[in-house]
Amino acid sequence: MAYPGDRWRTLGTEYLYSRPWCSFRLDEVRLPDGVKIEYGVLESAGFAAVVPVTQSGSVVLVRQWRQPAGSFTLELPGGGVERRENPREAVKRELLEETRYRAEGLSHLVSVHTSPGRSTEVCHLFRCRAVPELSGPRPEPTEFVSTVELSLAEAVEKVFSGEITAATTVLGLLMVVGEAAGGCVGGASGLH
């Protein structure tokens, strides 16, 4: 009899798509009960995102088109972590590229698997003070983003109304709210 704690055994792997930012593989797997199945896995180096809060207390978000969702989203600034790149450096770069802000007081909130049933992707979430940068945003050629500043309360309201649906953005905003409310999130005590 198979038990829920029994491991799956990978018998073979075939890559169907491979690019520097992601790959898709098909694993042949033996389940604990002996049945063989094929299982698709999206491999990713992961990404980093940040909850940037301005001196006035606004949260800096980006509005951008997301092809898989087929719509515009409001998200935390962030982007891919290149192989062997420190997520802290990635998120500082992405904040500056996508907004007119640089990160000060960067602090790690949490690292989470974004969809462990489908992908190896991990998102590293941070918070920081957003400090204006005179040079302005420098998005990558494929990025068409605009900056949206909201109070933390307005951003959280958009989470609960369903206007903000990106899971890592929801998590980051709610973690910062928890910190601000005196919650014990990773031993942190909020933005100062």
Ranges 3-17, 91-105, 158-172: which has the least confidence: 3-17
Determine the pLDDT at residue 92: 94
Q: Which overall architecture, per CATH, does domain 47-180 show? A: Alpha-Beta Complex (3.90)
Mean pLDDT, residues 5-32: 92
Q: Where in the chain is the domain with CATH 3.90.79.10?
A: 47-180
**Full-model pTM:** 0.83
> Over 70: is that where the pLDDT of 138 sits?
no
Going by pLDDT thresholds of 50, 70 and 90, the confidence category of residue 118 is very high
pLDDT tens, residue by residue, 27-74 = 999 999 999 999 999 999 899 999 999 999 999 999 998 888 888 999
Is residue 83 classed as helix, strand or coil in its secondary structure? coil
Q: What are the DSSP calls for the chain, one per residue?
A: ---TTPPPEEEEEEEEEE-SSEEEEEEEEE-TTS-EEEEEEEEE--EEEEEEE-TTSEEEEEEEEETTTTEEEEE-SEEEPPTT--HHHHHHHHHHHHSSEEEEEEEEEEEEES-TTTB--EEEEEEEEEEE-TT-----TT--EEEEEEEHHHHHHHHHHTS---HHHHHHHHHHHHHHTT--BTTB----
Determine the pLDDT at residue 136: 60
pLDDT tens, residue by residue, 3-12 = 666 899 999 9
